[in-house]
Amino acid sequence: MTSMTEARATFGPVVLLGLAASGFAAVAGHKEMLSIPEATVTAAGGLAPSVQERSVEFPLAGALALVALAAWGVLLVTRGVVRRVAAALALLASAGISVVVVVGGFAQDQDATADLATRLGLNLEAVDVERTVWLWVALGCSLLALVAAGAAVRLVPAWPEMGSRYDAPTSGPGTGGPEIAPPTDQDPAEQSNLDLWKSLDEGHDPTDDRTDGPAAGPTAG
């Protein structure tokens, strides 16, 4: 089983991979995925069309990539159950990108070819559609995002949570509840912040460097 320290060390690399892969997939998802070469169109007797006229995009892949990107952003600033839900959402969205690209670019490429031929007024037998570099970018990035999201779902319970070290203790000497000792596995920075909060709860000034104890209160006359 992955130790706590090793799991925490994966936080930065996995999040960076997820953000980068989702971001590039979002860009690729709004580019042409399948295209008929201009030379093919002109050789078949058609007019030279624009890139948009002789290509097919997969907007659903771009939309899912944006969902995955947003899920990574939520994962960075949340904790607990919400954070796990965000990781699961990133996983589902990344898987969706891969499915859209594979189905549209490989399983249904002939349907796209027929649509393009009809759009350009060409004979289907004379049209040969090509997979563009953006399709391969989208596919590769979706797989990387899928790997990163899968790792996040598995490791997110052990990852550090933003802002947790600045939370005040829920109970202590000044709140009437039992005093909670800092966990032994906390790093020194977290323990130091807990000590500052405890000092504030007891009415002490944590910035005062005097070693003498707190001033004695007034005695009953």
pLDDT at 53: 66
pLDDT at 189: 54
pLDDT at 9: 87
Weakly modelled stretches of the chain, pLDDT under 50: 1-2, 164-168, 171-178, 211, 213, 215-217, 219-221
pLDDT at 111: 83
Determine the Cα–Cα distance for residues 90 and 75; give it in Å rounded to an integer. 9
pLDDT at 114: 81
pLDDT at 176: 46
pLDDT at 216: 47
